[in-house]
Structures are given as C-alpha cells and as structure tokens.
C-alpha cells in the first residue's frame, strides 16, 4: 500500500504538507499517522506499545487501540456502503 500511495511518496521525499502543532512545549511541522506493527519504523508512524509496563504507557496503548478500532469500524462502514472502497 505504501509503495502505491502518493501521500506516502511525498512524505518519504520530505514534501508532505506542513502540519504545525505543539505538544508538551515541543513544536512539530509534520503530521503523524497511527499504525500497527506491519509498517516501517518511520518517525511519522506512531505505533502502539506492545507490552506496556508503566501506567503512562498502558494508558497510551489503550487509547491507541481504541482509536484504531474506531478507524477500522468506520472503514468497515465505508466498505459496506461504497463498493469502490
């Protein structure tokens, strides 16, 4: 999928649209994407923590999984509604 995606081709070449935001006092200029373990280790992919030990990591992993499930549900609805998806 990544090799056929124009969005990720631009991202890999550093020409992705700018997306400015601040988290914990750090400024960022590139967006990020939630991903699972099958994607490459790019700084723009945020993967879940596979075996969280501390409370902060457990909270992050649960929030990440909840978002992923919501996205998968929405994609399933789109697939059912539109055959082209």
Domain boundaries, the chain: 17-47, 49-85
Would you give per-residue pLDDT tens digits along the chain (85 residues)? Answer: 677 778 778 777 777 777 888 878 888 887 777 777 788 887 778 888 888 999 999 998 899 889 889 988 998 999 888 877 6
Q: State residue 85's pLDDT score.
A: 60
Query: Are the CB atoms for 49 and 61 separated by under 8 Å?
Result: yes
- Pick from 23, 33, 21, 28: which is nearest to 68 by CA? 33
Q: State residue 1's pLDDT score.
A: 66
d(CA 38, CA 50): 13
d(CA 59, CA 69): 16
Q: State residue 55's pLDDT score.
A: 94
């Amino acid at each position: 999928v990544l090799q056929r995606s124009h969005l990720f081709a631009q991202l890999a070449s550093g020409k992705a649209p700018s997306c400015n935001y601040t988290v914990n006092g750090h400024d960022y200029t590139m967006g990020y994407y939630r991903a699972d373990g099958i994607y490459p280790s790019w700084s723009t992919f945020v993967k879940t923590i596979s075996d969280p030990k501390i409370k902060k990591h457990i909270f992050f992993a649960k929030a990440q999984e909840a978002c992923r499930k919501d996205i998968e549900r929405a994609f399933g609805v789109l697939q059912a509604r539109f055959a082209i998806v």
